[in-house]
Amino acid sequence: MAILDPTNFIISRKRKLYKFALFNNSPICFEFNQWEKPNATTHNLEIGAGTGYFSVDLASKNQGKNFVAVDVKADRLVKGAQRAEAEDIRNIEFLRARADQLTQAFAPNSIKYIWVTFPDPYPKSRNAGRRLVHPTFLKIYQELLREDGALYFKTDETNLFKWGLEQLVREGWRIERLSFDLHESDLNNNYKVMTTYESRFTKEGLKINFVKALPPVK
């Protein structure tokens, strides 16, 4: 059995607390209980954003539109916030929240695009309800999206992707764009902006699955 070095644990713990302090002191980072529902349309919402670098890159390319990156871990999100502040990207905010809290954070029909990027696949069937493309979450996305909005989903996990496609079709979503090898496709270059994981996976030779789905007709 490995022996834990308590000194290393303390250093690691301090680093995490330091990142939480950075998050709480950033003017563009918000805890769920500090967040106020936006009055205007949110152009782009990324769920499970991790570092948020993907949203930062998109925001830098679309300065006239607003972006929100959401994740449950502040120590990840603060990395994106630091980069956005360093590069003077002012059209993005970072929210620490769970996906099931989003209907409390945003008004119905107020989001143009929702991105689900490389979520945890939760491969065991008993954990299927935690997958971010489970029908429970698809209903949340449907409530939040504008009628002219869309859901984007990409992952390297082919089994999760196929399962997600099945859920989308079963729930009445309309598939508009689909690729099992995004970066070799002729799809829009905005779709090919890479997350941190995506950059690593493509270097390893993995193919990226991508779908753009329109919400069910009401």
**Active-site residues: which are they?**
120
Q: What angle do CA 90, 93, 140 make, to 5 degrees?
A: 140
Q: How far is 45 from 95, CA to CA, in rounded Å?
A: 10
Q: How far is 184 from 172, CA to CA, in rounded Å?
A: 28
List the one residue out of 205, 203, 151 whose CA is nearest residue 178.
Answer: 151
Contact 90, 70 (CB under 8 A): no
- For residue 186, the surrounding DSSP H or E stretch is none
Look up residue 24 and give its amino acid: N
Q: How far is 187 from 127, CA to CA, in rounded Å?
A: 32
Q: How far is 115 from 141, CA to CA, in rounded Å?
A: 10
